[in-house]
Amino acid sequence: DSGVTQTPKHLITATGQRVTLRCSPRSGDLSVYWYQQSLDQGLQFLIQYYNGEERAKGNILERFSAQQFPDLHSELNLSSLELGDSALYFCASSVVASSGSSYNEQFFGPGTRLTVL
């Protein structure tokens, strides 16, 4: 158990809908990362938050947004869902110094499997 929790574990929805995925980082970790894992694209970095502020953006669509709250939990919002958004969405957390640090390993949650029908 990594200490990172994600809810829900599974989500089935229809095209055009909006969903929210939730992540709670490990105790003491200030940084949260979101990834999308699909068969054809592999593990794709979406976005990073550090202590409530956005730190880095990856291949995140404009239909997707995220935020990190004062209690450090994070939510990933996916809207106007398309069939191609079906994937496993991971949240990871790490201890990142305020100046940023590349040596911190990330601890991953169990993921949310999103199926768009």
Partner 1 sequence: AQKVTQAQTEISVVEKEDVTLDCVYETRDTTYYLFWYKQPPSGELVFLIRRNSFDEQNEISGRYSWNFQKSTSSFNFTITASQVVDSAVYFCALSGGSGGSYIPTFGRGTSLIVHP
User: Residues in the site for partner 1, rule: CB under 8 A?
Assistant: 2, 33, 42-43, 45, 48, 55-56, 58, 88, 90, 92, 96, 99-111, 113
Nearest to partner 1 of 80, 101 (CB atom): 101
Q: Give residue 52's Cα distance to chain centre.
A: 14
Task: Considering the complex, state which of residue 14 and residue 97 has its C-beta at the smaller distance from partner 1.
Answer: 97
Nearer to partner 1, 5 or 67 (CB): 5
Closest residue by Cα to residue 33 from 72, 79, 87: 72
The C-alpha torsion from 59 through 53 and 104 to 44, rounded to 10°, is -10
- In the complex, the smallest distance separating the C-beta of residue 112 from partner 1, rounded to whole angstroms, is 10
Least separation in angstroms between residue 39's CB and partner 1 is 10
**ω before 110 within 30° of 0 (cis)?**
no
Q: Taking the chain, what is the end-to-end CA distance rounded to the nearest angstrom?
A: 31
27 or 99: CB nearest partner 1: 99
Rounded least distance, CB 84 to partner 1, Å: 18
Least distance from partner 1 to the Cβ atom of residue 16, Å: 27
Q: Are 112 and 34 spatial neighbours (Cβ–Cβ below 8 Å)?
A: no
